[in-house]
């Protein structure tokens, strides 16, 4: 089974100059944790995740080492959320994300997700974004395609239901 058999097409995207607020709104309304960032048509240039939006709230390693007591003022950190939402996507996005092709075997894509601890990966063909594939997409594809095939074979071998 290939990624093209299970991927989601018609993906919601963002542009580098969009506000982080607008992208978070898209993610929350679509119940997804990542939005691909495109330019010049559908050329993938990055990804922005809910995690990317939260990371700027935390102190960097140098600040934490310098003052590990005061660098953990979580109330103050939370107050910075409005500032992060006012930023542009290009300020928080990850550049050059890991991608797969539509012809990548689904278990190969799943192995990349496991190694990188990703829940979804953009699907790109000739530099253009054509979809996204998630862990759920792969499980649905394997369950329904392989699961139904196995059930039908079992019914043919054991027609009485044993």
**Least confident range of 41-45, 56-60, 149-153:** 149-153
Q: 20-32 pLDDT, tens per residue?
A: 999 999 999 988 8
CA distance 140 to 138: 5
pLDDT at 68: 56
Is residue 129 within 8 Å of residue 107, measured between CB atoms? no
**Least confident range of 43-52, 55-64, 133-142:** 55-64
Looking at the predicted structure, is the pLDDT value of residue 81 above 50?
yes
User: Is-above-0.75 flag for pTM?
Assistant: yes
Looking at the predicted structure, is the pLDDT value of residue 150 above 60?
no
HEC letters along the chain: CEHHHHCECCCCCECCCCEHHHHHHHHHHHCCCEEEEEECCCEEEEEEEHHHHHHHHCCCHHHHHHCCCHHHCHHHHHHCHHHHHHCEHHHCCEECCCCECCCCEHHHHHHHHHHHCCCEEEEEECCEEEEEEEHHHHHHHHHHHHHHHHHHHHHHHCCCCC
Question: Mean pLDDT, to the nearest integer, of 77-106?
Answer: 88
Looking at the predicted structure, is the pLDDT value of residue 149 above 60?
no
Looking at the predicted structure, is the pLDDT value of residue 94 above 80?
yes
């Amino acid at each position: 089974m290939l990624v093209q058999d299970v991927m989601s097409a018609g993906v919601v995207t963002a542009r580098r100059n969009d506000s982080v607020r607008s992208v978070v709104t898209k993610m929350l309304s679509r119940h997804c944790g990542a939005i691909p960032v495109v330019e010049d048509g559908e050329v993938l240039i990055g990804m922005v995740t809910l995690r990317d939006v939260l990371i700027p709230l935390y102190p960097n390693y140098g600040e934490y080492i310098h003052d590990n007591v005061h660098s953990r003022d979580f109330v103050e950190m939370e107050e910075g959320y409005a500032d992060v939402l006012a930023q542009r996507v290009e300020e928080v996005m990850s550049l050059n994300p890991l991608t797969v092709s539509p012809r990548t075997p689904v278990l190969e894509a799943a192995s990349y997700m496991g190694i990188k601890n990703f829940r979804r990966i953009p699907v790109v063909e000739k530099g253009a974004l054509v979809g996204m594939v998630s862990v759920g997409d792969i499980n649905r594809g394997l369950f329904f395609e392989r699961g139904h095939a196995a059930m039908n074979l079992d019914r043919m071998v054991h027609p009485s239901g044993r």
